[in-house]
Chains A and B, each alone.
Chain A
Amino acid sequence: MSYTVTSDKFEAKKKGETITDKELLELGLNADALVAGEHLKKTVTTKPATVEETK
């Protein structure tokens, strides 16, 4: 899981940058609270469609 920084008060990264669950864990930060507080936004990753799925 990764997140886009949406707050200019987030110290670890600048607004618009991406941070991963692993990085948040290493920093000891609570990802759920940061998302709920609108400091981070979950990044939606789309899996490329396979040939089988496009048939």
Chain B
Amino acid sequence: MARIVLTDASVVINGINLSEFITSVSLSTSEDVVDTTGMASAGARTRVAGLADNSVTFEFNQDFATSAPEVTINAVGSSLVGTNVTCVVKPTSAAVGASNPSYSFSAVVSEWQALSGAVGELATISATWPISGVITKAV
């Protein structure tokens, strides 16, 4: 199995391919750990997995032009901020397959930085959005 250096990851948010503006993507899953220790646990805690908690972090290069991140996520009159949005991410832009799985999910757009950066720096956005429900993997 080949290792992969991300140079062509695909990120589609609300049906719009924003890959060219994305500099980083991170899809995370953690599980609650529920303690089940009882008196007969041989002196050691016992545990089971509880609810899964998924989130996604995107880093964008901000752009205010047509078809760019700002108008896609935070358009005047109908912003996606504060709503659930369908997202699909893939390691590369190639067709979905065993070596290029797609991950689909509904994220809550809980934060957005319309303008962020210091003098002389590129305007960027770092947004971590909780995921509602499961992440569906397709190969």
Contact = CB atoms under 8 A, between A and B. Distances in A.
Interface residues on A, range: 10 to 19
Interface residues of B, number: 21
Contact of A30 (B67, B76, B78): B78
Nearest to A28: B86
A42 interface: no
Given A11-B12, A11-B17, A36 B77 contact: yes
Interface of A: 7-12, 24, 27-30, 32-39
Given A10-B16, A11-B12, 14 more contacts: A8-B67, A9-B17, A11-B16, A24-B15, A28-B106, A29-B86, A32-B77, A33-B78, A33-B83, A34-B15, A37-B67, A37-B71, A37-B78, A39-B16
